[in-house]
Amino acid sequence: MNQHRDHYLFFTAALIFVFLLLLLSCHAAQENEVEDEREFDYTPGSEKGPERWGELNKDWASCNSGNLQSPIDLSNRRVKVIRKSLRLKKNYKPFSSVLKNRGHDISLQWEAHNAGSIEINGNEYFLQQCHWHSPSEHSINGRRYDMELHMVHVNTDPNVKYNITVIGQLYKIGPPDVFLSKLLREISSMSDQKQEREMGVIDPRKIKMGGKKYYRYLGSLTVPPCTEAVIWTINSKVLSIKLPTFTNLIYFDFFASK
Ligand SMILES: [Zn+2]
């Protein structure tokens, strides 16, 4: 009887041990996976895709329930077309920059936001970074273009409601833009790993802006947390660019369908 019970206890202990071992290894595997995965992705219908961004984190609720979400079609009635005679007051200056692969995109960031600012409605917004989407996020009369550049500016005054302003530029494939081609070559050589690269001094004034008019509307960030505090300014003229052939390895924003 006792012997039986000893056997029984031994087997139970062995089973619990194996079970714990399995649990531990599963847990380790899960942790590794989470580390490797991005917090969100752009794949429509996927677990972390655009339709579910608002559920992934309580701070991202705007992504699903907001009513000023971006991107939109620029023929939308929320959009005003403004002549550039009412010029944006730009005060950019060259400063050291770093190219950062943030996982979901690659951005060029200026150190300590020292690359100057623009003024909108009497408020000063400091240039923080620029990044690219391919294809474009905004569309014009339903047409999306090959690439879109976003220059992100921030205002740190807590009394300013719309404290982010993004200047956008659309591109279609055509003759190269020398400045951007050089930058895109650097970007193309960065792999799908999180990493940084010193880029030296870069002058934001060298980024060309097209057209005599711009589209202006109030919207949101186009990635989580989708904050609805963005003044959008998108140049009316679509410029041309020569995209590297391996673009699809670099821009993670493919077919963003938010
Ligand atoms: Zn963007």
Domains and CATH numbers, the chain: 36-80+87-252 (3.10.200.10)
What percentage of the chain reaches a pLDDT higher than 90? Answer: 43
Q: Please give the distance, rounded to the nearest whole angstrom, from the Cα atom of residue 41 to the centre of ligand 1.
A: 14
If DSSP codes are grouped into helix, strand and coil, which group holds residue 75? coil
Span 106-133, pLDDT tens digits: 789 998 779 999 999 899 999 999 988 8
- The residues annotated as belonging to the active site are 104
pLDDT of residue 10: 56
Contact 207, 149 (CB under 8 A): yes
Tell me what the mean pLDDT of segment 24-30 comes to: 40
pLDDT of residue 191: 60
Distance (Å) of CA 126 to CA 54, 89, 114, 115, 119: 28, 12, 8, 8, 9
Q: Please give the distance, rounded to the nearest whole angstrom, from the Cα atom of residue 34 to the centre of ligand 1.
A: 24
Span 157-190, pLDDT tens digits: 999 999 999 999 999 999 988 888 888 777 777 7
Q: Please give the distance, rounded to the nearest whole angstrom, from the Cα atom of residue 60 to the centre of ligand 1.
A: 16
pLDDT of residue 96: 95
Contact 209, 166 (CB under 8 A): no
Span 207-253, pLDDT tens digits: 999 888 999 999 999 888 999 999 999 999 999 988 765 444 344 44
